[in-house]
Homo-oligomer: A and B are copies of this chain.
Amino acid sequence: MTTTEMTAAEMTAAEMTAAEMTTAEASDSMRNGVDTATLFATLDAVKQAPQAARFQFRAHNQWVSGTHNRTTIADYFGVGEERAHERTFVFDADHPAVLVGQDHGPTPAEFVLHALVACITSGLANIAAARRVKLTEVRSTVTGDIDLNGILGLNPGVRNGYEKITVRFTIKGDAPAEKLREIVAQSRARSAVYDVITSGVPVAIEVDTP
Protein backbone atom coordinates (compact mmCIF):
# COMPACT_ATOMS: atom_id res chain seq x y z
CA MET A 1 0.00 0.00 0.00
CA THR A 2 1.44 3.35 -0.96
CA THR A 3 0.76 6.57 0.86
CA THR A 4 -1.51 7.83 -1.90
CA GLU A 5 -3.70 4.76 -1.52
CA MET A 6 -4.35 5.38 2.16
CA THR A 7 -7.78 6.34 3.34
CA ALA A 8 -8.11 9.11 5.90
CA ALA A 9 -8.76 6.54 8.59
CA GLU A 10 -5.57 4.76 7.76
CA MET A 11 -3.39 7.83 7.79
CA THR A 12 -1.28 8.37 10.85
CA ALA A 13 -2.02 11.35 13.02
CA ALA A 14 1.29 12.73 11.87
CA GLU A 15 0.26 12.52 8.28
CA MET A 16 -3.19 13.99 8.72
CA THR A 17 -3.96 17.58 8.02
CA ALA A 18 -5.76 19.59 10.66
CA ALA A 19 -8.94 19.46 8.61
CA GLU A 20 -8.76 15.69 8.31
CA MET A 21 -8.09 15.35 12.01
CA THR A 22 -11.17 17.24 13.07
CA THR A 23 -13.31 14.90 10.99
CA ALA A 24 -12.36 11.98 13.23
CA GLU A 25 -15.51 10.54 14.72
CA ALA A 26 -15.90 11.20 18.43
CA SER A 27 -17.99 8.06 18.84
CA ASP A 28 -14.99 5.75 18.82
CA SER A 29 -12.48 8.20 20.20
CA MET A 30 -10.80 5.81 22.64
CA ARG A 31 -8.60 3.15 21.07
CA ASN A 32 -5.55 1.39 22.54
CA GLY A 33 -5.88 3.64 25.57
CA VAL A 34 -5.41 6.61 23.28
CA ASP A 35 -8.06 9.30 23.16
CA THR A 36 -7.78 9.94 19.44
CA ALA A 37 -10.06 12.98 19.66
CA THR A 38 -7.63 14.58 22.10
CA LEU A 39 -4.70 13.43 19.97
CA PHE A 40 -6.14 15.04 16.86
CA ALA A 41 -7.18 18.17 18.76
CA THR A 42 -3.63 18.48 20.09
CA LEU A 43 -2.19 18.14 16.61
CA ASP A 44 -4.68 20.72 15.38
CA ALA A 45 -3.73 23.12 18.17
CA VAL A 46 -0.02 22.76 17.40
CA LYS A 47 -0.68 23.28 13.73
CA GLN A 48 -2.30 26.60 14.60
CA ALA A 49 0.42 27.57 17.09
CA PRO A 50 3.66 25.77 16.10
CA GLN A 51 5.69 27.35 18.92
CA ALA A 52 3.65 25.29 21.41
CA ALA A 53 5.68 22.30 20.27
CA ARG A 54 8.96 23.71 21.53
CA PHE A 55 9.90 21.59 24.54
CA GLN A 56 12.89 21.37 26.78
CA PHE A 57 13.29 18.15 28.73
CA ARG A 58 15.64 17.98 31.70
CA ALA A 59 17.28 15.60 34.11
CA HIS A 60 19.22 16.32 37.30
CA ASN A 61 21.93 13.93 38.42
CA GLN A 62 23.87 13.55 41.64
CA TRP A 63 26.88 11.33 42.14
CA VAL A 64 26.49 8.89 45.03
CA SER A 65 29.68 6.80 45.16
CA GLY A 66 31.87 5.08 42.59
CA THR A 67 29.87 4.39 39.45
CA HIS A 68 26.60 4.80 41.37
CA ASN A 69 24.64 7.98 40.71
CA ARG A 70 21.02 9.09 40.83
CA THR A 71 18.90 11.07 38.39
CA THR A 72 15.78 13.06 39.19
CA ILE A 73 13.30 13.91 36.45
CA ALA A 74 10.57 16.36 37.38
CA ASP A 75 10.42 19.63 35.47
CA TYR A 76 10.23 20.47 31.80
CA PHE A 77 9.17 23.29 29.52
CA GLY A 78 6.46 22.87 26.92
CA VAL A 79 3.39 24.42 25.39
CA GLY A 80 4.71 27.84 26.35
CA GLU A 81 5.34 27.36 30.05
CA GLU A 82 7.26 25.61 32.80
CA ARG A 83 5.64 22.32 33.76
CA ALA A 84 6.10 19.48 36.22
CA HIS A 85 5.40 15.78 35.93
CA GLU A 86 2.64 14.36 38.12
CA ARG A 87 5.39 13.14 40.41
CA THR A 88 9.18 13.27 40.61
CA PHE A 89 10.84 10.25 39.01
CA VAL A 90 14.12 8.99 40.46
CA PHE A 91 16.48 6.51 38.79
CA ASP A 92 19.72 4.99 39.97
CA ALA A 93 22.45 3.98 37.57
CA ASP A 94 25.54 1.94 38.37
CA HIS A 95 27.84 -0.69 36.95
CA PRO A 96 27.58 -4.36 37.90
CA ALA A 97 30.38 -5.92 39.93
CA VAL A 98 32.00 -7.32 36.81
CA LEU A 99 32.43 -3.71 35.71
CA VAL A 100 33.73 -2.61 39.10
CA GLY A 101 30.41 -1.25 40.38
CA GLN A 102 27.82 -2.36 42.92
CA ASP A 103 24.83 -2.92 40.66
CA HIS A 104 22.56 -0.36 42.34
CA GLY A 105 20.92 0.20 38.97
CA PRO A 106 21.29 -0.61 35.29
CA THR A 107 24.26 0.75 33.42
CA PRO A 108 23.67 4.04 31.63
CA ALA A 109 24.04 2.19 28.33
CA GLU A 110 21.09 -0.04 29.24
CA PHE A 111 18.92 3.03 29.84
CA VAL A 112 19.60 4.00 26.22
CA LEU A 113 18.06 0.71 25.09
CA HIS A 114 15.06 1.29 27.35
CA ALA A 115 14.57 4.79 25.92
CA LEU A 116 14.62 3.45 22.37
CA VAL A 117 12.02 0.69 22.76
CA ALA A 118 9.86 2.85 25.00
CA CYS A 119 9.79 5.60 22.38
CA ILE A 120 8.87 3.37 19.47
CA THR A 121 6.26 1.55 21.58
CA SER A 122 4.65 4.82 22.71
CA GLY A 123 4.33 5.87 19.11
CA LEU A 124 2.87 2.51 18.07
CA ALA A 125 -0.23 2.92 20.20
CA ASN A 126 -0.90 6.41 18.87
CA ILE A 127 -0.36 5.47 15.26
CA ALA A 128 -2.42 2.30 15.52
CA ALA A 129 -5.22 4.28 17.15
CA ALA A 130 -5.10 6.86 14.38
CA ARG A 131 -5.25 4.06 11.81
CA ARG A 132 -8.18 2.45 13.65
CA VAL A 133 -6.23 -0.64 14.56
CA LYS A 134 -6.82 -2.16 17.98
CA LEU A 135 -3.62 -3.57 19.40
CA THR A 136 -3.81 -6.54 21.74
CA GLU A 137 -0.13 -7.03 22.52
CA VAL A 138 3.17 -5.30 21.88
CA ARG A 139 6.34 -6.77 23.29
CA SER A 140 9.94 -6.10 22.35
CA THR A 141 13.47 -7.02 23.17
CA VAL A 142 16.31 -4.69 22.36
CA THR A 143 19.94 -5.72 22.36
CA GLY A 144 23.02 -3.55 22.11
CA ASP A 145 26.41 -5.00 21.24
CA ILE A 146 29.35 -3.15 22.71
CA ASP A 147 33.05 -3.89 22.93
CA LEU A 148 34.29 -2.35 26.16
CA ASN A 149 37.84 -2.24 24.83
CA GLY A 150 36.64 1.14 23.56
CA ILE A 151 35.70 2.82 26.84
CA LEU A 152 38.55 1.03 28.61
CA GLY A 153 40.94 2.72 26.22
CA LEU A 154 42.58 -0.57 25.31
CA ASN A 155 41.98 -0.46 21.56
CA PRO A 156 41.88 2.83 19.67
CA GLY A 157 40.10 1.09 16.80
CA VAL A 158 37.05 0.31 18.94
CA ARG A 159 34.38 2.95 19.49
CA ASN A 160 33.10 3.77 22.97
CA GLY A 161 29.44 3.18 22.22
CA TYR A 162 27.30 0.40 20.83
CA GLU A 163 28.40 -1.11 17.53
CA LYS A 164 24.83 -2.00 16.70
CA ILE A 165 21.42 -2.13 18.30
CA THR A 166 18.69 -4.59 17.33
CA VAL A 167 15.03 -4.32 18.32
CA ARG A 168 12.67 -7.24 17.88
CA PHE A 169 8.97 -6.44 18.17
CA THR A 170 6.10 -8.87 18.59
CA ILE A 171 2.90 -7.05 17.74
CA LYS A 172 -0.67 -8.36 17.66
CA GLY A 173 -3.90 -6.60 16.78
CA ASP A 174 -7.03 -6.66 14.64
CA ALA A 175 -5.20 -5.93 11.39
CA PRO A 176 -3.28 -7.95 8.83
CA ALA A 177 0.42 -8.53 9.48
CA GLU A 178 1.29 -6.11 6.68
CA LYS A 179 -0.61 -3.29 8.33
CA LEU A 180 0.91 -4.02 11.74
CA ARG A 181 4.36 -3.86 10.16
CA GLU A 182 3.52 -0.51 8.60
CA ILE A 183 2.52 0.83 12.00
CA VAL A 184 5.90 -0.18 13.41
CA ALA A 185 7.64 1.41 10.41
CA GLN A 186 5.73 4.65 10.88
CA SER A 187 6.51 4.74 14.61
CA ARG A 188 10.19 4.35 13.82
CA ALA A 189 9.90 7.10 11.21
CA ARG A 190 8.53 9.48 13.87
CA SER A 191 10.52 8.37 16.91
CA ALA A 192 12.51 11.05 18.72
CA VAL A 193 14.83 8.54 20.37
CA TYR A 194 15.37 6.50 17.21
CA ASP A 195 16.43 9.74 15.50
CA VAL A 196 18.76 10.68 18.37
CA ILE A 197 20.39 7.25 18.44
CA THR A 198 20.75 6.75 14.71
CA SER A 199 21.61 10.31 13.65
CA GLY A 200 23.31 11.84 16.67
CA VAL A 201 22.80 15.13 18.47
CA PRO A 202 25.28 17.89 19.33
CA VAL A 203 26.08 17.76 23.05
CA ALA A 204 27.67 20.70 24.89
CA ILE A 205 29.26 20.11 28.27
CA GLU A 206 29.89 22.96 30.69
CA VAL A 207 31.82 22.56 33.93
CA ASP A 208 31.52 24.67 37.05
CA THR A 209 34.21 24.19 39.71
CA PRO A 210 33.06 26.38 42.62
Contact = CB atoms under 8 A, between A and B. Distances in A.
A199 B117 CA distance: 19
A209 interface: yes
Interface residues of A, number: 134
Contacts of A196: 109, 112, 161-162, 197
Q: How many copies does the complex hold?
A: 2
A79 B148 CA distance: 10
A6 interface: no
B12 A194 contact: no
Contacts of A143: 56-58
Interface of A: 12-15, 32-35, 38-39, 42-43, 46-47, 50, 53-69, 71, 73, 76, 78-79, 83, 85-87, 89, 91, 93-96, 98-101, 103, 105-126, 135, 137-155, 159-172, 177, 180-181, 184, 188, 190-210
